[in-house]
Structure 1
């Protein structure tokens, strides 16, 4: 099998122009009012400034950022080897102009020769070799180091037997070769993740200083430094060498500790964009914002996991009954004003592998659920677990009430903890009942929707699920060509939906609200629930 991606610059420019034309209502530059229809607001000349809600990031180093607050900033400051076309989710050139492989195991990337960091340092194949080795080095304690675990030599570096990944090679100045331990066809998709962004040499000299004012190679360049608990500001980098330069001239991520305050600030015109409206405000949106809102389907998957290491959940009929006893739509309507999509699958709907309505046990059937639960000897008492402070209390209690009513469960208790403590209990297999967790696609792949949380021994497999056939299908799909892999991933998903280590609940719909300055038609949210700020059009007041 040979996979090769080569792109002509003219073809990429054509696609970029189409995107800008759509966003600007007929105007192909970064501002002005040419082509604006009567009654429509004109785009601000130069692109304008947008202010966006954000939470306080944990980190602003690409290899150490594993949460949305930091990653949404890093996506604008850096460009990796490849990027995504967010309309099709196809991989397109970033720093790499083309890439190819004969076996999905050894990958060769040909880099563009005009890429630099914002401090003028040239980006070469060695830049990526140095960055990836630094991220994996255990002395640097980067949280995303495990994303490199399929690169040849990873174990030797982690075990401190060597300082460099054997599978990374700068063949020449602009040719990078990456050898994997086993075939992995979704590798280009994985490379769009923040962990794989390049870093300049001065980052390695003083990473603490670098984190406060990251020097990237992306569409935007940080202005000053990270003002903790206040804001992070970035200006459009006018020397960006890639395609699709940013439209807004400036982005200001305003940091809030209370999302309700951010909602009211957008309403008052003090903030331009809130990317996710809190559940308690959903019924007010039309009255508060009128047409200044947009709702997006996302790949953010919410589920109730079952600890299979506990004896009372090892019978799959108990798991089936718990699932059938939940009226998902009723919970969504009552708690979220209908603003979620009930999950009848595990692979998110925006991916080509998605199969709609294939979960037999996700259909609400309280009578059959009660019979099945009784016959299987389901527990009469449950403790339901969830992380606190994130708005899960109401819907978890609503599900518990349905279990009481439909399954005759006598007592349901609740345990909630801060997220860090919550994950520690999962790591130690100390969860004793159904538990709430979610999963968001860091990159758009059916592999990432399943392998990290259901294959045997994975660190995020908190249910303890283990199935040899499922593991084998994932391994086979990972090595297959894209067309063959679709059916294999679907077969793996069907095993999950039959054995049901988790009860699928819903895919989140994110409702964004914005000020009058934002062109509603230019808003786009990606699979990771990030608004694509680089393409937002600011209009004249």
Structure 2
């Protein structure tokens, strides 16, 4: 059966193979920023779809978060290695395990010229918690003292957010929460100007007319066409090298390739089917960067309804899928098999975790015990966002599941409709990914597996396990870092056993740049790159 499936996969992917010696296919010396750095020029880029919002309170998708980081700032941000570095806060201290005091820079301005003060920090955080705003990211701040009273309408302010003076703010938590400082770099923690928000009776009108503090300021957005930003000449951390960035909306990979080869784009995210061609072309090879990411792709099972409220059936899905064979056949250069939620590169990752090995006989045995077989299959609907690459990956998965006693119907949907359907709990199975909002293994555990994180919080599988909830809550209070890592690993072991998600792979990106593009830096946290390093050799 696997031979048939792999033949199908190879046909879909035009019989491509792995690129050899990929460690040599990296950026050349021309991508090293040096003394010849120059200001000026428009960087011609593209995005694969329209974003949903440019309002930090609602930025939950990766693309939204990437753009928010260009237009706004948070108290802290992340460097290329994912370490916490100053943002609007030039320094901070932790007087005790529940208190953080931030000293702000005094030269930050919103794009409208208004100065940024501690009052803007308090307003922005309370806005996310305001029930009338209905942000899906209240969990970023709900551990602050008084947050719950404010959300319930019994308090007019969050008592744990205290403005000391214009450039100093104190945040007090209800109880110790070790990852809180990292979370202050998330998109939801980026700072907005109350004056701009209150211009609009409907906050959705602000969402596409953003005014932040970031290195780039909004110019225009034409849905389905383009998104344009310009350099913030008065950026408090120093003006970016670029004069601006033009993002075209290009949904089709072949169009993006043609535009890059015609010289109309300065960079191209190389589709997996084209990696061989670009990597083996002497014209492009010196200007290719490939890197592993924190994006962890998975198949989700809907845990709060039949059939996948049954752990045995969730495990059967795990056993039925030969992920290595599928990845090698379908996306050999852009994936590394994943066996658990914590990705390599974060403390807590264990290379010896192998999760579930491919064992179709075990899958058949489980299904038979539950009353199902190829003759009497278990019918399930498997939702995914419409794209040729998703079909290429999921058709072999469908075939493998059907072989052991499932009858899988693949349902392709437009992205926004698909995300809404998943959040409403419609599918039995679905295909998504998760990337780090902040560089802590907790980000791959609490949002995904705590029972309160459904309905937009990250727990799209609607998984609930009281033991996991308790361990996650204990990890938040554990200041000893090594002990916290042990708790993370204990939690990971339980959720792997429970199988709410079938981990498939970690992505690997390949990007080719025009020779004039200099200073490229690869940030593993998707919302960390503020495009301050890149410049054009004109």
Which TM-score bucket, shorter chain as reference? 0.7 to 0.9
The correspondence for 1:65, drawn from 47, 59, 76, is 59
Give the alignment partner of residue 220 of structure 1, picking from 210, 216, 220: 216
2:45–2:247 Cα contact (<8 Å) kept: yes
SS of aligned partner of 1:300: strand
Q: Contact 2:516 / 2:537 at 8 angstroms: preserved in 1?
A: yes
Moved more, 183-192 or 451-460: 451-460
> 1:505-525: per-residue Cα shift (whole Å, max 9, x none)?
111112223323224x72413
3-state DSSP class of the match of 2:397? helix
SS at match of 1:261: helix
1:123 corresponding residue in structure 2: 116
Give the alignment of 1:307-322 within 5 angstroms.
Answer: 307-322=302-317
CA pair 484-369 structure 1, distance change in 2 beyond 3 A: same
CA contact (8 A) 1:300 1:529 kept: no
8 Å Cα contact 1:267-1:515 kept in structure 2: no
Distance 1:47 1:278 in 2: 29
Cα 1:260–1:166 change in 2 (3 A) is farther
**Aligned position for 1:19:** none
Q: Distance in 2 between matches of 1:458 and 1:510?
A: 29
Is 1:156 aligned to residue 154 of structure 2? no
Residue 388, structure 1, aligned to residue 408, structure 2:
no
Given the alignment, which residue of 25, 42, 47 partners 1:49?
A: 42
The DSSP-based 3-state class of the residue aligned with 1:298 is strand
Q: Distance in 1 between matches of 2:30 and 2:471?
A: 41
**Aligned-residue offset at 1:47:** 4.8
Deviation, structure 1 residue 278: 3.6
Cα deviation code 1:185-222 (max 9, x no counterpart): 11111111121112224313314675555332222233
Secondary structure, aligned partner of 2:532: helix
Contact 1:266 1:513 in 2 (8 A): no
- State the distance in 1 between where 2:119 and 2:528 align: 30
Q: Which residue of 2 aligns with 1:39?
A: none
1:64–1:305 CA distance, 2 compared to 1 (3 A): closer
**Once the 2 structures are TM-superposed, how far is the Cα of residue 141 of structure 1 from its aligned partner?**
4.0
Partner of residue 349, structure 1: 344
Aligned to 2:531: 533
**Contact 1:299–1:529 (8 Å) recurs in 2:** no
The residue that corresponds to 1:487 in the other structure is 486
Matched residue, 1:273 = 267
Counterparts in 2 of 1:515 and 1:25: CA distance versus 1, 3 Å: closer
Q: 1:73 is paired with a residue of what secondary structure? A: helix
Question: Alpha carbons of 1:294 and 1:384: their partners in 2 closer, same or farther (altered >3 Å)?
Answer: farther
CA distance in 2, matches of 1:47, 1:434: 48
* Contact 2:213-2:235 at 8 Å conserved across structures: yes
Task: Determine if contact 1:282/1:336 at 8 Å carries over to the other structure.
Answer: no
Against the structure 1 CA distance between its residues 24 and 305, is the aligned structure 2 distance closer, same or farther, given a 3 Å change threshold?
closer
Q: Distance in 1 between matches of 2:61 and 2:380?
A: 28
Cα shift at 1:73:
2.1
Q: Check the 8 A contact 1:60/1:212 in 2, yes or no.
A: yes
Contact 1:318 1:377 in 2 (8 A): no
In the TM superposition, residue 475 of structure 1 has moved relative to its aligned partner by: 1.1
Deviation at residue 91 of structure 1 after TM alignment: 0.8
User: How much has 1:342 moved relative to structure 2?
Assistant: 0.6
Per mean C-alpha deviation after superposition, the further-off stretch among 258-267 and 372-381 is 372-381
1:498 aligned onto 2:497: yes
Aligned counterparts of 1:23 and 1:64: Cα–Cα separation in 2: 38
Alignment match, 2:104: 111
Consecutive unaligned residues of structure 2, counting only runs of 5 or more, are 1-28
**CA distance in structure 1 between the aligned counterparts of 2:230 and 2:92, rounded to whole angstroms:** 31
Corresponding residue SS for 1:457? helix
The answer as to whether partners of 2:441 and 2:488 remain within 8 angstroms in 1 is: yes
What is the number of residues matched between the two proteins?
496
Give 1:328 shift: 1.0
Once the two structures are TM-superposed, the CA of residue 110 in structure 1 deviates from its matched residue by 1.6
Counterparts of 1:261 and 1:201, CA distance in 2: 40
- CA deviation after TM superposition for structure 1 residue 261, in Å: 1.6
Cα displacement (A) at 1:300: 1.2
C-alpha deviation, 1:386, in angstroms: 1.8
Distance in 2 (alpha carbons) for counterparts of 1:176 and 1:151: 13
User: Using the alignment, how far apart are the partners of 2:186 and 2:352 within structure 1?
Assistant: 30
User: How far apart are the structure 2 equivalents of 1:448 and 1:364?
Assistant: 28
- Any conservation in 1 of the 2:78–2:85 contact (CA below 8 Å)? yes
> Using the alignment, how far apart are the partners of 2:43 and 2:301 within structure 1?
43
Match of 2:162 in 1: 169
Residues 370-379 or 326-335, more deviating: 370-379
CA RMSD of aligned residues (A): 2.8
SS of structure 2 residue aligned to 1:533: coil
Counting only pairs closer than 5 Å after superposition, residues 499-518 of structure 1 correspond to structure 2 as 499-518=498-517
SS of 1:452's equivalent in the other structure is helix
